Structure 1
Amino acid sequence: MADPAPKQKRPLEEVMLAMDVVDTLRHRENLVARELNEEERDRQLIARLREIYASQGIEVTDAILAEGVEALKEQRFVYTPPEPSFSVSLARLYVRRHAWGKAALGIVAAVAIAWGAWHFLVTVPAEQRAEARQIELTQTLPKRLETLSAAIESGSQAPEASRMAQSIRADGDRALAENDLDGARSAVAQLEDLRGRLDQEYVLRIVSRPGATSGLWRIPEANPDARNYYLIVEALNRRAQPVTVSVTNEETGKAETVTQWAVRVPETTFNSVRRDKEDDGIIQEDILGAKRRGTLEPDYAMPVSGGAITDW
């Protein structure tokens, strides 16, 4: 059997005219309602459509008009929206991407900036602090405790200093075992202070400059009938320069860092120094004591009572 003759393609102009006919019918709802809903022939509608196009100066063949009527009946050239579905929703989002894309991009950018700020301003510094803390607990402080303890042990000439160092070292080791950073730091600071005291060398010279007070007495609050006698001294190194010393004020109980303070002495020592100064205005025996390296306290050349004040 021979193949049927191929169907010839219709000119685009005819297709467009047919579509226009349908569009005209759709926009003339009164005409459609009146003509198509009545029991008349399609030819009457075609004749009416011919008049409409003729009035517009458009020549349309009866075949095209008939095709337009049939197309209207068959709902050709009518867009039917698709049923709702996930793919349809995605397609609509894609079509409206210019509307929501900038807002979404702005939100993403804001989230990225916020995350970056949190990461670099909070997370990273926190991680660095945690790492530094761990290094200090496991490396820096243990090594420092060991070094200071060894230095004190080898340089101390006072058994008391060795006992103090061992006690402080034990406190520091215990703090490290408990991850107590502040406790370990405190132990290191105490050992540093102890080593500094051991390393100091100075003499205690009684102040005897013109116009300066060399001694004084106080009436203690606890015993109004008694008197506490003091000699004012200054700590000087080998070059006669002032040395800073930590002194506990017995009246306040607070330790202060000073270069000059008053040492409490017996009345006999006080009177001896007073007579020395009254003789010619100069204290001949003006060295109260000397502090040697490796010791905690000065060796006194005169009797002292052991207390001190820093304010008078």
Structure 2
Amino acid sequence: MSGTSLDGVDAAMIRTNGIEIFEFGASAYRPYSATERAGLRAALGRWPGDDLGAAPDICFEAHRDVLSGFEGAEIIGFHGQTLAHDPSGRGTHQMGDGAALAQALGCTVVWDFRSADVALGGQGAPLAPFYHFACAKWIGATEPVAFLNLGGVGNLTWVDPSKARPQDDGAVLAFDTGPANAPLNDLVAERLGLDCDCDGALARKGRVEEGALELFLDEAYFRKMPPKSLDRDDFSLMMDLVRELSNADAAATMTAMAATAVMQGMEHCPSLPSRVLVTGGGRKNPVMMQMLSVGLDCPVQPIEEVGLDGDMLEAQAFAFLAVRVARGLPTSAPGTTGVAAPVGGGQISRP
């Protein structure tokens, strides 16, 4: 998995039948260099047929590098790098050639997970919720639980573990809450040349500008009913709203925007979850986690507290989804992407 935060490629091995999780295996992370990150960033917003510059080679080489360190995989789920996402317009674009990757690695690769869902009227995102359902079963949850991924974009999955299958009515509700780390990363990169606000150190020194936060919450997206999804740069106004603020105040305000977007999203859940389990880079930001703990009416915990790996959950999800595609099982449903009926996506390429 290479997400919209553009930090690097996560890879993780699991043993699964696409329904249950049986075992977790090795994992690895391959960071992007500053040059590679700049090459990917230059291609953001571009579509198939556009000039993508060096981005396709960067994506291919990084995934080949990290995946070549694994042995014994029967199948690989390759998400690719999202460059553009406009499900109501041009569709969705995950750059990456799964067929070339299959040849390079000598292993079956499942890829292009989102296009079929979008073609059938779905948002094409988020796609991890079916894996979240399996995770809720794996941890033995008996009451509704929410999985909150704070990556470049935030997304929330509400799971009722009493249901038999993720595609069953009422089993899962999922949607993008709003921007998470991507605009904050862009801010500190632009102003300070940093990759992220490590440990929330900058935000901790700042003050939240309430006026900017209120303007942010005026966005029509927050009034839309889920399922709904976002492109990485859909909230580019965030940078304008903090333009005149100091570095610390801008970081604090952007962190509050991401956390408050989650609070707004929680209002759409069918019932209050027993707890919110946080995955993705945002769980390592103590300021963001404190804001969520104060603002939500249920416990907020890093997902490690239930024995799962918050750095690798998304990568594991696409391994899980690859097996579902290979077995002809659905990978999304009305409650996750708004598609009309449960659908399986993904191309299968064999070496």
TM bin, normalised by shorter chain, reads under 0.3
Identify the structure with the greater strand proportion.
2
TM superposition score normalised by structure 1: 0.18
Task: Report which structure shows greater RCO (CA 8 Å, sep ≥6).
Answer: 2
Higher helix share: 1
From the CA coordinates, give the structure whose radius of gyration is larger.
Answer: 1
